[in-house]
């Protein structure tokens, strides 16, 4: 299996931990740099995932405060497309005479 095929296999990464603000900012900055570069690598002691964002990305931001508990959620999503689809020329459309 080629490296590109392996990178597109179904995978999941999840990490929960308690961190200070400075560490959280450093991690968010690293995610931003990975998005800008088009290669986002996430790992911890248990697992790892490599994502390659490209094209248009969907951004969702939610924030809430409820009974003293505060939360901000960021979600960035995109669809990986088959390379063959991206490289295909646009269809030819001609009006009928």
Report pLDDT digits (tens) over 20-41: 999 999 999 999 999 999 999 9
Whether 91 is in a domain gets the answer no
In this structure, what DSSP letter does residue 67 have? T
Whether 94 is in a domain gets the answer no
Whether 86 is in a domain gets the answer no
Parent domain of 50: 3-80
Whether 85 is in a domain gets the answer no
pTM above 0.75, yes or no: no
Q: How many domains does the chain have?
A: 1
Which helix (H) or strand (E) is 76 found in, with range? strand 69-77
pLDDT tens digits, one per residue of 68-88: 999 999 999 999 876 555 566
CB 92 within 8 A of CB 72: no
Whether 20 is in a domain gets the answer yes
Whether 71 is in a domain gets the answer yes
Spatial CA neighbour of 51 closest among 16, 11, 85: 11
Residues whose CB is less than 8 angstroms from the CB of residue 26 and which lie 6 or more positions away in sequence, other chains included: none
């Amino acid at each position: 299996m080629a490296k590109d095929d392996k990178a597109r296999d179904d995978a999941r990464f999840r990490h929960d931990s308690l961190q200070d603000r400075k560490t959280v900012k450093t991690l968010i900055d690293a995610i931003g740099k990975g998005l800008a570069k088009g290669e986002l690598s996430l790992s911890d002691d248990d697992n790892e995932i490599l994502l390659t964002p490209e094209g248009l990305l969907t951004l969702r931001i939610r924030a809430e405060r409820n009974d003293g508990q505060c939360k901000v959620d960021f979600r960035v999503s995109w669809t990986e497309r088959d390379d063959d689809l991206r490289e295909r020329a646009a269809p030819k459309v001609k009006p009928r005479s």
